[in-house]
């Protein structure tokens, strides 16, 4: 019995025993576990994009194409609107390098789409910061905006908020975030789908 099987509950082990797993299936499961470990090390910065690509390059050619696509999908699924610029660049570089390992890779198309995604993320973060700074100036110039009245059992209590807390509690900020995130998330999702189509 493999180590991962030993960790399963008894009922799951019984069901698993009834399933016929081919040697190819076992190999794929083993390789997916390796990939999971490689990606975890990559996210923790124990592996560079070059290291990760080299690890996948070394795998058996039979499983390699499947694992390259799987690695790309997992990297794409790890992207979000709030990702830092260095993390986006590192993951984007890795996705592109993996595309170049494929016999018929579409690296130019992939690069174009990754650049578009980068523009969406950059625009989202810049606009968010611009509006935050604008509201922050208003809050700093008006001390009343940093005071909040809270009802308790003993009566009303006045709480003094930090500038950051006050900004995030304004209806102006909440409305902006709701609208801005909805708009950008829609664009972001479309771009992510395009990337996934290039992979498949």
Per-residue confidence band for 3, with pLDDT thresholds at 50, 70 and 90: low
Average pLDDT over residues 61-82: 90
pLDDT score, position 25: 75
Per-residue confidence band for 198, with pLDDT thresholds at 50, 70 and 90: very high
CB-based contact 199:70 (threshold 8 Å): no
pLDDT score, position 192: 95
Q: Are residues 190 and 134 both part of a single domain?
A: yes
| Of the residues 70, 105, 140, the one at which a domain ends | 105
Q: Are residues 100 and 137 both part of a single domain?
A: no
Average pLDDT over residues 70-97: 95
Nearest residue to 195 via CA among 74, 114, 103: 114
CA distance 190 to 200: 16
Pair of tokens at residue 91: 């993951």
CA distance 34 to 64: 12
Q: What is the 3-state secondary structure (H, E, C) of 24-76?
A: HHHHHHHHHHHHHHHHHHHHCCCCCHHHHHHHHHCCCHHHHHHHHHHHHHHHH
Mean pLDDT across the chain, nearest whole number? 88
| Of the residues 71, 105, 139, the one at which a domain ends | 105
Pair of tokens at residue 21: 């797993």
Residue 18 has pLDDT above 80, yes or no: no
Q: Which of 61-65, 68-72, 86-90, 196-200 has the lowest mean pLDDT?
A: 61-65
Q: Are residues 97 and 110 both part of a single domain?
A: no
Residue 155's CATH number: 1.10.287
Per-residue confidence band for 61, with pLDDT thresholds at 50, 70 and 90: low
How many Cα neighbours within 13 Å face the side chain of 108? Answer: 1
Give the bridge partners for 41, in sequence order.
Answer: none
pLDDT score, position 4: 65
Give the bridge partners for 156, in sequence order.
Answer: 151
Average pLDDT over residues 185-192: 94
Q: Which of 41-50, 125-134, 145-154 has the lowest mean pLDDT?
A: 145-154
| Of the residues 47, 78, 105, the one at which a domain ends | 105
By residue range, what is the domain housing residue 113?
A: 106-200
pLDDT score, position 13: 75
Q: How many CB atoms lie within 10 A of CB 82?
A: 11
Q: Are residues 26 and 115 both part of a single domain?
A: no
Per-residue confidence band for 31, with pLDDT thresholds at 50, 70 and 90: confident
Nearest residue to 88 via CA among 76, 98, 99, 97: 76
Full-model pTM: 0.78
Average pLDDT over residues 27-56: 90
Q: 100-140, pLDDT tens digit by residue?
A: 988 888 989 999 999 999 999 999 999 999 999 999 999 89
* Higher local confidence (pLDDT), 83 or 15: 83
pLDDT score, position 89: 95
* Structural domain count of the chain: 2
């Amino acid at each position: 019995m493999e180590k991962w099987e030993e960790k399963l509950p008894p009922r799951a082990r019984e069901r698993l025993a009834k399933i016929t797993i081919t040697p190819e299936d076992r190999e794929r499961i083993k390789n997916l576990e390796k990939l999971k470990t490689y990606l975890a090390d990559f996210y923790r910065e124990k592996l560079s994009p070059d290291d990760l690509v080299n690890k996948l390059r070394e795998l058996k050619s039979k499983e390699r194409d499947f694992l390259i696509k799987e690695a790309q999908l997992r990297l794409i699924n790890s992207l979000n609107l709030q990702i830092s610029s260095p993390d986006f660049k590192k993951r984007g570089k890795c996705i592109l390098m993996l595309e170049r390992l494929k016999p018929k890779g579409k690296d130019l198309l992939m690069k174009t789409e990754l650049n578009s995604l980068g523009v969406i993320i950059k625009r989202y973060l810049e606009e968010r910061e611009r509006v935050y700074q604008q509201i922050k100036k208003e809050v700093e110039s008006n001390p009343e905006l940093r005071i909040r009245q809270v009802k308790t059992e003993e009566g009303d209590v006045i709480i003094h908020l930090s500038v950051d807390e006050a900004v995030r509690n304004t209806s102006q900020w909440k409305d902006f975030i709701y609208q801005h995130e909805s708009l950008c998330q829609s664009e972001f999702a479309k771009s992510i789908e395009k990337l996934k189509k290039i992979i498949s």
